[in-house]
Amino acid sequence: MKVSKLKKFDAAEHLRTAAARAEYLNIVLADGDPTEVRDALNLVARAQGMSQVAKAAGVTREGLYKTLGENGNPEFATVLRIIAAMGIRLTAEPARAKPKAKAAALR
């Protein structure tokens, strides 16, 4: 039996629309983990095209890879420029309150 190699999964290939990219970022932002947010920005930038996002954000392509890479720790101003370059707008909404039953059980 011939075994063929599987193609490596790349989630960026599935974020084809602006709405899908924005929804993905909303989900990750809701969790609030800075590392996950950085990784999600990397994924969305790759989905859109790293060169295009870098140019619109006013950084080099290499700089964007470094900033959003595994050891990157982008400043908030840089994150805002990257998000704007992606054509995405950040908004704020009230955090959901814990359900009363759950809160009572924690006492």
pTM: 0.79
Round to whole Å and give the CA distance between 69 and 12.
Answer: 15
Note the pLDDT tens digit of each residue in 52-106. Answer: 999 999 999 999 999 999 999 999 999 999 999 999 998 888 887 666 655 555 6
Note the pLDDT tens digit of each residue in 44-59. Answer: 999 999 999 999 999 9
> 3-state secondary structure string, 28-96?
HHHHCCHHHHHHHHHHHHHHHCHHHHHHHHCCCHHHHHHHHCCCCCCCHHHHHHHHHHCCCCCCCCCCC
What domains appear along the chain, each with residue ranges and CATH number?
16-91 (1.10.260)
